[in-house]
Every structure is written in structure tokens, then in C-alpha cells.
Chain A
Amino acid sequence: MRKRVAAGILLALIVASLLTVWTSKYGYAYQDREAAMAPATAQHWTGTDTLGRDRTVRVAAALLIGLTGAAAAAAITTAIAAAVGLLAAFSPAPVASVLMFVSDVFLSLPWLFLLMMARSLMPLTASPMQMALITFLVLAALGWPDCARAIYSGARELRSAEWMIQGRASGLRTGQLVRLHVVPHLRPLLLPQFLICVPAFIVAEANLGALGLGIGEPVPSWGAMLMELDNSALLAQSHWVYLPIVLLVLVLLLLETFTIEESHA
């Protein structure tokens, strides 16, 4: 029940954001210098920022970019994790040890620190959209080790299942066994791993952005919008500055509710 409510609200938010971005006459980068920090009006429902950009459009675009990027990165990370976990589970012990050791190397550094390090070493002259792509690719490239460990232990358990032994005795090759038996059985494990990654990546992007290492301006992102909160003069002028953080927490709560319910299902 809670899962359906969470999914419904999330879907409504996505649809509303899409409509806002598509139907608004202001683009997310359009600057109306005459209306900088304007209050909420009929033209700008939630006012404008310091550069006169429509806040509603920017928040809606940040929600869409954040969700799409995080979901795509989560899909890539789950695919990498599945490949590494399955390879380790169905390879000889030395190969499995090496693969798990590599994942341990990634896990031996705090996630945000690792992200920050990798993200800061990317090209300096990339466009804002390329920066957004790089940020989510870095998230995807570094998020797999935890997930791979879970898939590895799940696949190892399956390897000694009776129906697997029968499949092997019937002459099925390892590739066929993995495709026909293991992957379908691992689906209940892969979906929660994917769902766990989505909010984690959104939070990571927001934290990176708040440190000045996230998606660059003028592309709107949660992290860049959190930086607005550092300016106390802005906060005194308009309460709409809090809108991004309120919406971000709401989206994360909905995603977590959905993930928890899905994991328990």
C-alpha cells in the first residue's frame, strides 16, 4: 500500500516537472535580469534566483536531471556489479579472490571521498552538460563494489543448488546456466540493489554539488541549489529558496519508502 502511494506521488512529481519544463516560456538558463530575486508572481510561481532565472523551472529540471541521471547510473552500476559478481561466483577461486579484492580496494575508501577524488580529476574544459554526464558516470563507475559483493554471495549460494547440479549434469554450459537459471533467480536481488543505488546517487550528487564538485552552472542540480542556502541574505529575502531542499528530502523519502517496501516484498 505504502509502496503504491510513494510510487504515485513520485510519478505525479515527475509528470508535474515534465509539464513545467515543457510548458514554461522560460528555459532553465533564461535570465531575466530585471526580475532578480523576484517574489512569487503569476509569471514566476516560486519567484526567481539571483540571476533572475525562474525557480519553478529550475527545480523541476533539477528533479528530472537528478532522477534520470541517478537511475541511469544505478542501472549501469547494477549491470557492472552483476557482471563482476557472476564472474567471481562462476570462476575458479583465484579469479574470484582477485575480483573481490578489487572491490575491497574500492570499499576501503569512504564513498564520498572516492567520488570527490575521481570527479575532480576529470577534464577541466567540459561543458555543463558533459559535466553532468561525467558526474553520473563517475557515480556509476564507483558504486558497484557493495552491490557486486551481494550478488557474488547470492550467486555462490545458487551455484550449489540442486537444480544447478542437475542442469550441469544435463550438459548445460556455464553461460547457459547463468542465462537460464542464475539471472532469473537473482532478479529479486538485483532490483533492490538498483533501487538502493538511486537515492544514494542523488544524495551523492547533492553532496558533491554542495562542495562545488558537482554539475556545473547553468544546468540546474540539487547540489548547486543547496549552495544557495549558504547565502543568508537570500534566505531573508525569500522563503522559496528552501523549495529545492524540501523537494529533495521529499523525493528521497519517497524513493526510500518504495525501496524498503520493494525489498521486503
Chain B
Amino acid sequence: MNRAKGFLRRAGRTLLLMLFVAAGTILLVRFAPGFFADEREMDAKYATSARNELQAAGAQTLSQIAVREVKGWAHGDFGESRQYEVPVTELIVPRIQVSAWLLLRGIFYGWLLALCTALPVSAVRRGAALWGIPFTLLLATPTAALATACILAETGGPVLVLALLIAAREFKFLLNALRGTWSAPHLLQGRAQGLPLSALIRVHILPGVAPQLYALATLSLVTALGALVPIEVIFNVPGLGQLAWSAVINRDLPVLVAVSLLMACAIGVAGMLSGQKQTLEAAA
């Protein structure tokens, strides 16, 4: 019962966060310079109708815009893109798949790289700093520069850049989390009993750091979503990041609100699930 209550509370909070994100986005874009401008105004044929439309749009209050948007979302309608003049849903749905696949592979390979390096490095007493140097170097390289370097070297692609970025971010956290576990009494006993290394890692080490890993997974998603924009723009990947960038450049409110909502939803749900998982672990 308590668990269900906790879940509902977290879900309600996530929903409220999303609403605030949407309201903030509408507010920002509504007052942005150039929002009430339309390129059709330059064309004598369409100038009058464009001006009338803009005038009508300008007369709407913030609350009217917000109510209209929320009503649309309730019916699965995210409006029409100002730059592409097609329904936002049509633009977003195929791109979700592209971005999700990129995120999934990037996060998976990043974690694999970070975990495979942090596990042995956490066990050694000397030389850990030396192993950390490539990750520190990666951490000091902006995503855009890393992506450009990959293009120049004609090596790798968006997945590699995302994986390297995630690995660089998570390596230090994983190393710190794992370092303490090697000297834990139950692990020393396991080693004394002659348990093989794979069993030690599977049975003792990974479950021990699991709660921290769940929290880190949420952070990984936030990092990856942030990196999605420069990576997709530089590698010309037709995903959500590229769409968000072009919406920002062209002040395309419906697309911008929809992408913001999607991002807030992904982060909110990931945070909620990792929180729920941690609660369940604690209860067990």
C-alpha cells in the first residue's frame, strides 16, 4: 500500500514537473523576439493573411495559449510545425526511434566501457590514476569537439562519441563506488573461500553497488540527452536532437514544446523508476 502511494506521489510529481516545463517553454518562446514574425509577410501575395493570422495569435493571452496546447495534447495533437508546416507528431514519431536507438547503444557501450575499466582498476592499489587519464582527457573535451575529431579522423560515429562521453562521466563514479567493495568483509571471506572472480563480481560486487548504479543510470540519460543535440547536428543524424536544434533556430514553438515535454518525460520517468528501484532494494 505504502509502495503504491510512494509510486503515485512520484508519478504525480513527474506529471507536475512536465506541466511546469511546458508552461516555462511556452512563456519563453511567447516573449522571444521574432516570435510574431512570419516569412510570408515578405511575399505580397500572402502578406495580408499572414499579418492577420499573426495579429490574432498576438491577441491571445498566455493562459489561452497554454489551455489550447494542453487540450491538443490530451487528444494527441501537438500542433503544426511552423517551419515544416506538417503536424508535429508526424515529425517527432520517426525521430524518436532514431534517437532512442542512438541513446540506447551509446549508453550501453558507454557503461560497458566504464564498468569494464573501473572493475579491474578499482581492484589495483597503484596506477589507478594512470588509467583515469584517458577518461579525464575525454571529460575535458567538449562534445562538439569530440564529434568533429571523429569526423576528421573518419573513425567512429555518433554512437562512439556518445559512448565515450558516457564512459568518461561514469568512470570516476563507478571507480569510487567499486573501490570500497573489494575490501568489504563478506568479499574477503568469499575470496578466502575460493569463489571465482566472475562469481564474486556477479554475486557480491554488483549487487552491492546496485542502488548507486540505478541513480547513475538516470544521470547517464540526462547526460546523453544533453549530448544528443551537438552529436546529431554534427553527424547529421535525423533524430530529436537535430529537430530540437532546428526548432530553436527557427523559433518553432509547437516542435520546441513537444521536444521539451518528451525530454522532461524521459528524465522524469527514468528518475521515478530509479527511485522506485532503490526503494524496493531498501525494502528487500
Chain A residues within CB distance 8 Å of chain B: 101, 104-105, 108-113, 116-118, 120-125, 199, 203, 206-207, 210-213, 222-223, 226, 229-230, 232, 235, 245, 248-249, 252-253, 256
Contact = CB atoms under 8 A, between A and B. Distances in A.
B144 A207 contact: yes
Contacts of B29: 121
A211 B229 CA distance: 9
Given A203-B142, A212-B249, A253 B136 contact: yes
A105 B17 contact: yes
Interface string B116-152: 0000000000000000000011011111110011001
13 contacts: A110-B228, A110-B229, A117-B248, A117-B256, A120-B249, A206-B142, A206-B145, A211-B233, A248-B142, A249-B137, A249-B141, A252-B140, A256-B139
Contacts of B140: 199, 249, 252-253, 256
Contacts of B143: 207
Given A109-B263, A113-B225, A117-B256, A213 B145 contact: no
A210 B21 CA distance: 26
Contact of B152 (A101, A120, A232): A232
Contact of B230 (A123, A124, A125, A211): A211
A125 B33 CA distance: 9
A110 B148 contact: no
A239 B234 CA distance: 21
B145 A118 contact: no
Secondary structure of the B side of the interface?
Answer: helix
A15 B271 CA distance: 45
B260 interface: yes
Given A211-B230, A248-B142, A256-B140, A113 B244 contact: yes
B267 interface: yes
B248 A120 contact: yes
B245 interface: yes
- Interface size class on chain B is 35 or more
Given A118-B28, A120-B249, A253-B137, A248 B229 contact: no
Contacts of A222: 142
A112 B248 CA distance: 12
Nearest to B241: A113
Nearest to A212: B249
B89 to A, nearest CB: 20
Contacts of B260: 109, 113, 117
Interface string B240-266: 000011001101000010001001100
Contacts of A235: 152
Nearest to A111: B226
Contact of A112 (B139, B229, B249, B251): B229
A167 to B, nearest CB: 35
A120 B28 CA distance: 10
Contacts of A207: 142-144, 230
